[in-house]
Structure 1
Amino acid sequence: MSIFSENIRFLRDKMKASQQKVGDEISITRGRYATYEDGRSEPPIELLVKLSKYYKVSIDLLLTVDLRKYPLDDVVNLPNNRILLPMKVDHTGENIIEIVPQKASMGYLSGYNDPEFVEGLQHLSLPFLRNGKFRAFPADGDSMPPYNDGTYIVGKYLEDKKDLKKGKTYIFITKDGIVYKRYSKQNDFGSFVSSDNSFYEPYEIKWSEVYEIWEFACSINTKELKVENMEYQEIKNMFEQLRSEIRNSKTKS
């Protein structure tokens, strides 16, 4: 039997509906519906759409994910007919936070919607993070001081880009990589973000390139933050600000 046939059998049992009832709802005979559950035939596109609407589960989930492993009451549904995020807890009931290590950060771009890939990630639990789906991502570079290499930013999954708040920081998962930036504004085409290090210019991230958005929840530093690094960053920012002021004064004159 296929994943699809197992899924529709599982969903029907969960709804405590008969094959006859489902057949009536999607305007086919009970016998024809039974062939789909038994895996003896595959439904055409128009029936896939009807089944998706009836069970309130996207077509890609019906066809590719074993829903018995991810109870629908424990998942965060993603927009645009995309894959689900399992909401999992450990044996004590704490929310499990998957950790995306630096070496797996590029692989995440292709595996972020693969439950098996996500299940293979290491994880931790933080008792003060509740009521949401959280994931930890590695900080990279010096664009967001004091977070440097060795820091993990724990983000809370953002279900709707309309919930972005000006001045807050977010992890954007895009087709080009994982970036941690401060949000300023948005339009129909993209989001405008900036780095806390003024050396880097603000820029726009196009919505068509965004896979996921995670709101800053907390940070975990795996390396001691040295005072000299902070002083260096302060001096660097001071010179950058001075350069900006000189540029502005020239423009005015």
Structure 2
Amino acid sequence: MSYFGKNIRKIRNVKKLSQQAFAEMFELKRGTLGAYEEERSEPRIETIIKIANYFSITIDDLLTKELTVNKLLKFKEDLPLQGTFEKDDFPKVPCIVPASEQDYIRYYDKPHFIEDLPCLCLPVDPNGTFRGFVISNEDNVENERGLRPKDVVIGERVQAENFLKTENGSLILTLVKEGLYLRKFYLFGDKITLKATNNNIKDTVIPLAEVKELWLIKYTFLQRLPDNASALANKLDYLEQEFKKLREQL
């Protein structure tokens, strides 16, 4: 059994290299590197030698042993930890940013592409599957309110068998062939209508069968403090003050 694929993947993670960056270092195509990591293809001996020499790893270790993080960082494995402490391990949420949005549409189902996305560490349910999304348009801006560019939403994955159970009016992130949509979800028969909050944006109607992914938005992170005041709240406050005055007069 060869550990080559697993080891180069670990090297990338330790050295904080994307698949693209690692591939370019050794004159490889990104898809070729992905095939190595997924053990769908075996590397040429010249490639093995280049990688082993570059990272000062013996060919034997690279191929026949599962490398440890300590070895890759040149730590001594027998170095004792100084004290112990407890920490919370927040789940890492892969986040789609504007620069990676088009690549996500193409490679959304490639595990190693998802691993290369920037991650947010958040106190969310560790048993769920989440996706972050940085907003780049004004589809959901209404009268200076709502979600604006650079705001971040976090969606929980809805499995395909549960698409029909999604409540109408839910804010969802949908992946279809044409792109990614952050809209409100409405189901009519075998089609869904994706409605933007911004009334200047036309509704998008898509056959349910064309939906590749659906993420139900659970959390939002705004680039500003939320404005909790509303016209209705102001009216209620005004009425309460008027009733108070009346009670004092009686």
Q: Partner of 1:109 in structure 2?
A: 105
Give per-residue Cα distances to partners, 1:99-152, cap 9 Å, x unaligned: 111100000011111111111111122114443101101213212122111112
Distance 1:213-1:66 versus aligned 2 partners, 3 A rule:
farther
TM-score, normalization by structure 2: 0.51
Q: Please state if 1:219 is matched with 2:202.
A: no
Moved over 3 A (4+): 64-67, 128-131, 223-227
Partner Cα separation in structure 2 for residue 193 and residue 164 of structure 1: 13
Gaps of 5+ in 1: 3-63, 68-90, 228-253
Measure the CA separation in 1 of the matches of 2:158 and 2:94: 16
Q: Following the alignment from structure 2 to structure 1, what is the Cα–Cα distance between the partners of residues 177 and 225? A: 31
Per mean C-alpha deviation after superposition, the further-off stretch among 170-179 and 159-168 is 159-168
Partner of 2:188: 186
Give 1:158's aligned residue: 158
State the 1:184 CA deviation.
Answer: 1.9
Q: What is the deviation of 1:172? A: 0.4
Partner Cα distance (1:207, 1:103) in 2: 27
What does residue range 26-41 of structure 1 map to in structure 2 within 5 Å? none
**What secondary structure does 2:212 align onto?**
strand
* Alpha-carbon spacing, 1:95–1:186, altered in 2? closer, same or farther (3 Å): farther
Q: Sort the Cα spacing of 1:66 and 1:208 in 2 relative to 1 into closer, same or farther, 3 A.
A: farther
TM-score by length of 1: 0.50
**Whole-angstrom CA distance in 1 between matches of 2:158 and 2:88:** 25
> Which residue is 2:238 aligned to?
none
The separation in 1 between residues aligned to 2:104 and 2:155, in whole angstroms, is 15
Other-structure match for 1:196:
197
The answer (yes or no) to whether the contact 2:91–2:124 under 8 Å persists in 1 is no
SS of residue paired to 1:110: helix
Distance 2:209 2:159 in 1: 16
- Number of aligned residue pairs: 145
Gaps of 5+ in 2: 3-36, 41-86, 228-250
Identity over aligned residues, as a percent?
20
Q: Which amino acid aligns with 2:208?
A: W
2:184 and 2:195 in contact (8 A); partners too: yes
- Paired residue for 1:98, among 85, 94, 98? 94
- The separation in 2 between residues aligned to 1:140 and 1:151, in whole angstroms, is 8
Which residue number corresponds to residue 134 of structure 2?
Answer: 138
Equivalence for 1:172? 174
Secondary structure (helix, strand or coil) at the match of 2:99 reads: helix
Answer whether contact 2:174 2:215 (CA < 8 A) is retained: yes
Map Cα deviations across residues 2-22 of structure 1 (whole Å, 9 max, x no partner): 9xxxxxxxxxxxxxxxxxxxx
Q: Distance in 2 between matches of 1:163 and 1:211?
A: 16
The 1-side partners of 2:104 and 2:124 are apart by 26
Report SS of the residue matched to 1:107.
helix
Which structure would you say has the larger Rg?
2
1:118 to 110, 114, 123: 114
Shift of 1:181: 0.6
